[in-house]
Amino acid sequence: LPVSPEAEDERKTLQLVESYLQNFYNLQKDQKPHLRTKGDNPIVEKLKEMQAFFGLQVTGKPDLDTLEIMKKSRCGVPDVGEYS
Amino acid sequence: LTPGNPKWKRNDLTYRILNYTPKMRQADVEKAVQKALSVWSNVTPLTFKKVDDREADIMISFAYRDHKDNSPFDGPNGQLAHAFQPGEGIGGDVHLDEEEDWSKDGRGYNLFIVLAHELGHSLGLSHSNDPGALMYPSYSYTAPNEFLLPQDDIDGIQAIYGQSSAAVQPTGPVTPQPCDPNLTFDAIATLRGEIMFFKGRYMLRKHPERAETELNFVSLFWPKLPSGIQATYENIERDEVLLFKEDKYWVLRGYDIAPGYPKPIYRLGFPKTVKRVNAAYNDETTGKTYFFIADRYWRYDENKKSMDHGYPRKIVSDFGKIGRVDAAFQKDGYVYFFRGTTQFQFDPRAKRIVRQMKSISWFNC
């Protein structure tokens, strides 16, 4: 069935969030991220870490302000942890 | 600072440019590298010597996609560059994404700005969450000739290598905090229902319906505008904002800088003795614009496009104890004058000050 535009958008958003957090916040690649599940979901925790760093509202959700920052061109060095 | 506090054991470091980008002249790349290194050598005891024929501490190169350092680039935009903390081998090296649109000005990505940031990593700095800092992760353009290393970055690098040997220690711009009680403004104007507070290279943007205040670089919206705007006012009827710096002014039409600007302020009718404007506001009910210079003010007729006769007059003669003015704007029939950390609400009908507040009263602190 053709993917509905909303589902396509959500997939792209998840992809953007996932790669940003993997590149700059040490989200492990093998974790199956889900934006919706409750509990200590690693992607939600990392999202909160990124939002705290940038002084955004720490919601754990990919809101507009968060996605706007994720779309900005930037340095490839992670914002947290070792880089060598 | 980078976890583990890596730093170079020596202060006299070497660097080498391994290759160049076809998007810039080689001489411009070398100039950008030298200027980026001087950003850090100006504030520390560090020195950088160029070598061409052997391994250097800091190897600078343009790289494509997967370039075998376990951190592949991602094509145009996204990740622009990366660098490695001090150490042997790849330590200290800077890799720039070859596919970016590198430039020596505001087009694409300014090589000098990106290099200065990456060299911060090469020297042991990590990212700062101060949005005005050079070590902030996201790219933002500052004209190289206007660039001043922010205080946040000076503090960071001097924590690693100590101060420079200069007799007078360099200081840098500090990012304005909306609720800093000592915050003062260079210029303020309304803009289509919002209020824009100018401070150095920053603009605080306040929308009446939004609780938080947005902090941006002026260059984010208008790369051609210089920092340090000194006076602004909105002409609501013409949907224009005029911005003044020294003896020139620009016009914003809607949100875009109108072509053909800047123009000299003398076109508005100022005498040559006037070198800059301190503040301005437009009274939309009368079509008159008031320009404040030192302790005097002029009145300009927007319809006749000329200064009214009988001016300049003393500010104290008509606006009371306000005296000199840093910034001013009109909103909902009142004029708000700013001087230092004090704000005066002036009622032009009653011709008197009706309230006195802190300058930051608009930021819901």
A53 contacts in chain B (CB < 8 Å) = 127, 129
Q: Is B139 on the interface with A (CB under 8 A)?
A: yes
A76 contacts in chain B (CB < 8 Å) = 71, 73, 79-82, 97
B79 contacts in chain A (CB < 8 Å) = 23, 73-76
Reported as type and span, the H/E element at residue B96 is strand B94-97
Please tell me the predicted confidence (pLDDT) of residue A1: 58
Give A29's pLDDT tier (boundaries 50, 70, 90).
confident
CB distance B269 to B307 below 8 Å: yes
Spatial distance between the Cα atoms of B206 and B190, rounded to a whole number of angstroms: 9
B138 contacts in chain A (CB < 8 Å) = 69, 72-74
CB atoms within 10 A of CB B309: 6
Chain B interface test: which of A75, A79, A80, A83 (most B C-beta within 10 Å): A75
DSSP character string of B196-212: EEEETTEEEEE-TT-SS
Reported as type and span, the H/E element at residue B235 is strand B231-235
Helix/strand/coil for A47: helix
- Give me the residue label for tokens 């304005």: B176
Give B140's pLDDT tier (boundaries 50, 70, 90).
very high
Q: Is B43 exposed, middle or buried (0-12, 13-18, 19+ CB in 10 A)?
A: buried
**pLDDT 10s digits, B221-276:** 998 899 899 999 999 999 999 999 999 999 999 889 999 999 999 999 999 999 99
Give A35's pLDDT tier (boundaries 50, 70, 90).
low
**pLDDT 10s digits, B286-321:** 999 999 999 999 999 999 999 999 999 999 999 988
β partners of residue B82: B95
Closest among B355, B270, B271, B289 to B328, alpha carbons compared: B289
CB distance B278 to B324 below 8 Å: yes
CB contact under 8 A, B4 and A82: yes
The phi-psi region of residue A3 (left if phi > 0; otherwise alpha if psi is between -120 and 50; otherwise beta) is beta
Q: What's the gap in Å between the CA of A7 and the closest CA on chain B?
A: 24
Task: List the catalytic residue out of B98, B99, B100, B118.
Answer: B118
CB distance B284 to B268 below 8 Å: no
Closest among B48, B217, B163, B34 to B111, alpha carbons compared: B34
**pLDDT 10s digits, B110-139:** 999 999 999 999 999 999 999 999 999 999
Rounded (5°) CA angle B83-B87-B88: 110
Spatial distance between the Cα atoms of B305 and B308, rounded to a whole number of angstroms: 9
Nearest CA in chain A to B74: A76
Nearest CA in chain B to A52: B129
Given the cut 0.90, state whether the ipTM is greater than it.
no
Nearest CA in chain B to A73: B78
Please tell me the predicted confidence (pLDDT) of residue B1: 84
Spatial distance between the Cα atoms of B127 and B138, rounded to a whole number of angstroms: 10
- Catalytic site includes residue B246: no
CB contact under 8 A, A74 and B82: no
pLDDT, mean over chain B: 95
DSSP character string of B296-314: EEEEEETTTTEEPTT--EE
CB distance B109 to B103 below 8 Å: yes
Rounded (5°) CA angle B240-B268-B284: 40
Closest among B287, B241, B233 to B261, alpha carbons compared: B241
Q: Which amino acid is at B309?
A: H
- Give me the residue label for tokens 């260079």: B186
Q: Is B156 exposed, middle or buried (0-12, 13-18, 19+ CB in 10 A)?
A: buried
Please tell me the predicted confidence (pLDDT) of residue A8: 76
CB contact under 8 A, B117 and A75: yes
CB contact under 8 A, A84 and B91: yes
What tokens does B51 get? 């070598």
Reported as type and span, the H/E element at residue B32 is helix B26-41
Please tell me the predicted confidence (pLDDT) of residue A68: 93
Give B3's pLDDT tier (boundaries 50, 70, 90).
confident
Q: What's the gap in Å between the CA of B87 and the closest CA on chain A?
A: 9
Is the pLDDT at B150 greater than 80? The verdict is yes
Please tell me the predicted confidence (pLDDT) of residue A39: 59
Q: What's the gap in Å between the CA of A21 and the closest CA on chain B?
A: 13
CB distance B91 to A84 below 8 Å: yes
Please tell me the predicted confidence (pLDDT) of residue A37: 52
**pLDDT 10s digits, B71-122:** 999 999 999 999 999 999 999 999 999 999 999 999 999 999 999 999 999 9
CB contact under 8 A, B80 and A75: yes
DSSP character string of A18-42: HHHHHHHS---TTS---SS--SS-H
B82 contacts in chain A (CB < 8 Å) = 75-77, 83
Taking the CA atoms of residue B214, residue B218, residue B223 and residue B228 in that order, the dihedral angle to the nearest 10 degrees is 180
